[in-house]
């Protein structure tokens, strides 16, 4: 029991602490996520072979181990396990491990792992404290990241639902091309998704894409503000050079780079 408690303390430190080793650990997890995403894209260009299925299973087992560590590090493991994002992450991991049995039929579920990149509060905190560019442009960076993740997920859905029957979709690059042209309403027409399902998927891409574009534009052109909770009223967004809170007049001490 004491050994299990000690392991939980170590894991919680790695996932939540602000020490250099803990930050390096979380950056390594980010690298693991990027590696898994890169493999998902690369695999779409490869024929389904024993090698590809073996890599899927090994990568899935590695991610499942990290998932178990993450749940164990939580103070409320059961609640953490059944959170929507972690359930989506688990489904994506299982789709890798079960790849030999699924034979690619549910491979697009693996793109759900990209959601973790955007919803890890500790990772965002790490990026904000380590990277001045991220601190200054946090909202625009997150809006752009949401748009990129949407592109990646929808391209994965288009690829997995179309490449077996649609002559215009041969690999992930074709699916990404269609998604971008649809999202931007360019619509060259050289690739289309036939049938009611294909048309509805195109509608979703267009509507959601316009919303994400507007959010990105709003973040880019909105006056730059910094996040610093006012100790009196709790207002978080202030002008970079603010001395007093505009809501209550409380004296602020916003850290700056000089």
Write the DSSP assignment of 21-65 as a string of letters.
HHHHHHHHHHHHHHHHHHHHHHHTTS---HHHHHHHHHHHHHHHH
Counting Cα atoms < 13 Å in the Cβ hemisphere of 236 gives 1
| Residue 104 clears pLDDT 60, i.e. is over it | no
What pLDDT shows up at residue 119? 52
| Residue 77 clears pLDDT 70, i.e. is over it | yes
Q: Of 111, 81, 118, 83, which Cα lies nearest the Cα of 96?
A: 111
Which of 39-43, 111-115, 207-211 comes out lowest in average pLDDT?
111-115
Could you tell me what percent of the chain has a pLDDT over 70? 83
What pLDDT shows up at residue 120? 55
Within 10 angstroms of residue 7's Cβ, the number of other Cβ atoms is 13
pTM of the model: 0.68
Residue 111 near residue 156, CB atoms below 8 Å: yes
The average pLDDT across 198-204 equals 89
Q: List all residues 6 or more positions away from 24 whose beta carbon is below 8 Å from its beta carbon.
A: none
CA distances from 25 to 20, 113, 117, 125, 182 (A): 9, 18, 15, 14, 38
Within 10 angstroms of residue 176's Cβ, the number of other Cβ atoms is 19
What would the pLDDT profile of 130-184 be if each residue is shown by its tens digit? 767 676 677 777 778 778 878 888 887 888 788 888 888 988 888 889 998 988 8
Structure-token pair, residue 245 = 């809170």
CA distance 76 to 247: 36
CA distance 157 to 70: 27
What would the pLDDT profile of 107-136 be if each residue is shown by its tens digit? 566 666 666 555 554 566 666 667 676 766
The average pLDDT across 55-80 equals 88
CA distance 206 to 161: 18
């Amino acid at each position: 029991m004491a050994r299990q408690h000690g392991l939980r303390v170590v894991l919680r430190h790695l996932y939540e602490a602000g020490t250099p080793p803990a930050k390096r650990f979380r950056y390594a997890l980010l690298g693991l996520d990027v590696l898994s995403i890169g493999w998902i894209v690369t695999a779409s260009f490869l024929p389904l072979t024993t090698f590809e299925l073996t890599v899927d299973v090994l990568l899935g087992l590695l991610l499942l181990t990290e998932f178990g560590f993450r749940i164990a590090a939580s103070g409320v493991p059961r609640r953490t396990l059944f959170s929507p994002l972690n359930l989506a992450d688990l489904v994506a991991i299982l789709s890798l491990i079960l790849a030999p049995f699924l034979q690619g039929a549910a491979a697009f579920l693996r793109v759900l792992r990209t959601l973790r990149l955007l919803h890890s509060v500790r990772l965002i905190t790490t990026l904000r404290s380590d990277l001045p560019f991220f601190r200054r442009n946090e909202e625009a960076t997150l809006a752009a990241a949401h748009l990129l993740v949407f592109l990646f997920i929808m391209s994965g859905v288009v690829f997995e639902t179309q490449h077996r029957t649609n002559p215009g979709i041969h690999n992930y690059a074709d699916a990404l091309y269609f998604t971008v042209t649809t999202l931007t309403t360019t619509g060259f027409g050289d690739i289309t998704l036939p049938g009611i399902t294909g048309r509805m998927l195109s509608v979703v891409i267009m509507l959601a894409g316009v919303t994400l574009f507007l959010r990105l534009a709003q973040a880019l052109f909105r006056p730059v503000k910094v996040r610093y909770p006012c100790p009196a009223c709790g207002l978080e967004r202030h002008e970079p050079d603010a001395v007093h809170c505009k809501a209550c007049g409380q004296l602020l001490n916003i850290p700056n780079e000089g």
